[in-house]
Amino acid sequence: MKLNMCIESDIYLKEKTEKLLNWYAEHKRILPWRSDPSPYHVWLSEIMLQQTRVEAVKDYYERFLREIPDIAALAEAEEERLLKLWEGLGYYSRIRNMQKAARLIMQEYAGVLPDSYEELLRLPGIGSYTAGAISSIAYGKAVPAVDGNVLRVLARSEKDARDISEAATKKAVFAQQYASLPSAHLCGAYNQALMDLGAGVCLPTGKPKCMECPWEDICKAHADSCEMEYPVKKALKARKIQERTILLLQDKQRIVIRKRPSSGLLAGMYEYLNLEGNLTPDEVRRYLADAGIHSLRITPIVSAKHIFTHLEWHMTGYFVYVDELSDFCPQDMDAILVSTKQLLEKYPIPGAFRAYTEYIKNKKEY
């Protein structure tokens, strides 16, 4: 009986793999990093794709590669230039860790990204999923790559009720995937097929497109019409909401920006002058007067919202026109004065302020 169960299990796994790979051969996404899956290209794309939509990453990826074409260039680049190239992608610790890893690769691996899953895990910013993706896709190693998309697909296909936010679940699924991988030369395609299935068919929000799924006839959740009950994941804590007032303080030639602290949220990035709370024009005027700045005009502009992992900023914006900005930094503003051209080309401004950067970019007269 036990032997028969093992045989049945092997047949089932083989069927799942064949269905998945056949589907991938026909439906795989055409992505720039897949046309030349070198180790550096796979690494860069996977880091960019963390917490970011594929469509948003494509242009960033190609622009980044034009300026930072390899690991040596990444190791040597100025941090502010890297942050500017990353501007708008968010989670800026990702590119800082990439540069730390690049420098370690230059020092300890002669500039070559290691092919071993275990060695890749030693590098800053590379976790289990990224190490598995690099090792399998770029080097053809038999290693799983298990991210949120894959966990969702597998949970639904097997009606697996374990909480996918738990480390123990992720570890167990990784081990199960390791034991059921196809031949090493197929692992890259297998892992990417699961990614594509999760991204485009077995959707994270809304009803999955089961009619398009290669596993439609063998998916256990679909068989019982309970797809939306999986995966099981504990509810996130409610985000804290912060009200902020953004001031685009500008004369005819320059605008005020300041550098954020070297640690914490948006560390080392540049920002527009901003204050806690949702201030009225009169409150803004009083604040500026106390700082020795007398505005000629305060104009309410776009309001915006930005969502971080555990925090939301609700922002009220004002364009503040003054006759001439002095070269000293008033009061506690810790400000620098830059031209619009410098702002747009040199200084990395986080995507949290995108609405205000667009306002500056599109404003013709002051």
Q: Which residues are identified as catalytic?
A: 46
- Amino acid sitting at position 274: N
- Amino acid sitting at position 60: Y
- Amino acid sitting at position 75: A
- Burial code (b: 16+ CB inside 10 Å, e: under 16) for 177-205 equals beebbbeeebbbbbbbbbbbbbbbbbeee
Using CA atoms in the order 185, 189, 194, 197, what is the torsion angle rounded to 10 degrees?
-160
Q: Residue 276 has which token pair? A: 């806690």
DSSP letter, residue 43: H
Q: Helices 54-67 and 39-49 meet at what angle, rounded to 10?
A: 140
DSSP letter, residue 162: S
Bridge partners of residue 244, in order along the sequence = 276, 315
Contacts of 137 (CB under 8 A, 6+ apart): 37, 42, 145, 188, 191, 192
Distance from C-alpha of 120 to C-alpha of 103, rounded to nearest angstrom:
14
Q: What is the largest CA-CA distance in the chain?
A: 88
Q: Residue 239 has which token pair? A: 């985000």
CB 228 within 8 A of CB 300: no
